[in-house]
Copies of this chain bind each other. A is one copy, B any other.
Amino acid sequence: MKMLIPTMPEAELQRLRHSAPALEFLVARDRQEALALAPQVHASFSFYQTELISAAPQLRWVQTRSAGVDSCPFDQFRTRNITLTNARDIYGIQLADHTLALILAFSRQLPLLFRAQQKEQWVSRHTFPPGELAGQTLLVVGLGGTGLETARRAAGFGMRVLATRRRAGEPKPSFVDALHPPEDLHRLLPEADWVAVCVPLTRHTRDLFSDREFALMKQSAYIVCVTRGGIINTAALLRALEAGRIDGAGLDVTDPEPLPAGHPLWSRPDVIITPHASGHSPYADARMLDLLCENTRRFAQGETLLNVVDLEMEY
């Protein structure tokens, strides 16, 4: 069997070969080369655009490099029943770090204090009110890889952690106070001081946060999103911020993305924008290679793969 892969350092390629000696690896430098190799391949890492799937009649498995698979041509995958595996375990740690960084930046008033530092002003601590996370309620929307890591960290701060999860009946981690099905979202929003959006973008979660959801949140609440831009409706978020219906938003992902200069979100003092940087970590590449090697070994030996995407749920 043959597997299509992008160019990678020789040492990594050696490890990959070693993990599945029975497979032949075809290296493509770009999409064009990948397309030319497609007719031969049974598996593909990283390449999965529509034309490639069409050109690869023997394709049985695709491994993505990302956790989010919202750009995947799901119709083709469903029709041909191609197995799709993503990289969801690779990013949870750093996405959770980033989520907590944004929450703490708001709680401890860092945006205001950064601006004061630029002006070399030792502002009186009585002119701004830093918060405290202990006892506050964090709502983790989507207790998957990122949600779990976010909840674990929040519990260390003494926060009350509520979470939604599609499989709400499965065992609840000790660091989550209450676990609910996704349909409870509207009932939970009024309780949250902080909302951490940890769901992937799918046809079911697009615009999950819009006018109605912001209206249900506390006026003092913040929303943080590090997964995908389309989950929060940008126009509705701006309306909510302008009307003071919520206190602020920390966004590592936006819609549109990249956020163009001049967009009103950039200059709001109640918004922190970071440029889709939450997935970055010095250790992500090593974790990706581990996952790729393990799944390639499993594929070659006919074992069940890790991180299989539900083609109906699209994550």
Contact = CB atoms under 8 A, between A and B. Distances in A.
Interface string A116-136: 110011111100111111110
A7 interface: no
Nearest to A94: B132
Interface stretch (A39-47, A151-159, A206-214, A240-248): A151-159
A266 B105 contact: no
A275 B109 CA distance: 11
Contact size range, A: 35 or more
Copies of this chain: 2
Contacts of A263: 120
A274 interface: yes
Contacts of A160: none
A51 to B, nearest CB: 27
Contact of A117 (B101, B154, B272): B272
Given A105-B101, A156-B156, A156-B157, A275 B130 contact: no
Interface of A: 93-94, 97-98, 100-101, 104-105, 107-111, 113-114, 116-117, 120-125, 128-135, 152-158, 175, 257-259, 261-263, 266-267, 272-284
